[in-house]
Amino acid sequence: MKRRQFIQASASSLLLPVILSTARGDGLTAAAAPRLTSRFFFDHRFETARRHASDRAASLRIDAVAVQGDVTSFWVGGMDALAGRQTLELHGMTTESFRFCLEVLLRERSTVTAQVSRLDSNLLHWHMHSSPLDIGESFHG
């Protein structure tokens, strides 16, 4: 099979459940629809982060969340449970420590992809996408 045919077949197989549910007229059920939580974290101690946070969050149509360099309160405040249950689309303009700790915590419960760029000596602009681990992938120790 040629590469192009393989990619087309793969993409088609992903669309099959949507096509079938649409043909039945019921659309995707709430249980079948992927749940997604999105946030834009910004470190409010820095003018650059405060200035750009509302614009970026508005353009992404997500909530902006002010932080002070420590991820702990957000993690134990509910994000830990979300990471194991649903897909997270997280953006930020924070210090390296916030981004690094968040990524480490997410990796305990999900697969994570991240893109990071440095804005200045203090701030990073980043994007993380996480998906819950399958039960077989979870680390038990």
Cα–Cα dist 127/117, whole Å: 9
- What is the full per-residue pLDDT of the chain (141 aa) written as tens digits? 554 444 454 444 443 343 333 344 444 444 444 467 899 999 999 999 998 888 888 898 898 999 987 888 888 888 888 888 999 999 999 999 999 999 999 999 999 999 999 999 999 999 999 999 876 555 554
The three-state secondary structure class of 31 is coil
Cα–Cα dist 12/69, whole Å: 43
Cα–Cα dist 138/127, whole Å: 23
Looking at residue 136, its pLDDT comes to 57
Cα–Cα dist 26/6, whole Å: 30
Cα–Cα dist 139/51, whole Å: 40
Looking at residue 135, its pLDDT comes to 61
Looking at residue 127, its pLDDT comes to 96
Q: Using a cut of 0.75, tell me whether the model's pTM lies above it.
A: no
Sequence-distant (≥ 6) Cβ neighbours of residue 93 within 8 angstroms = 40, 41, 42, 43, 46, 48, 49, 52, 53, 56, 119, 123, 124, 125, 126
| Per-domain boundaries in the chain | 1-33, 36-137
Looking at residue 139, its pLDDT comes to 53
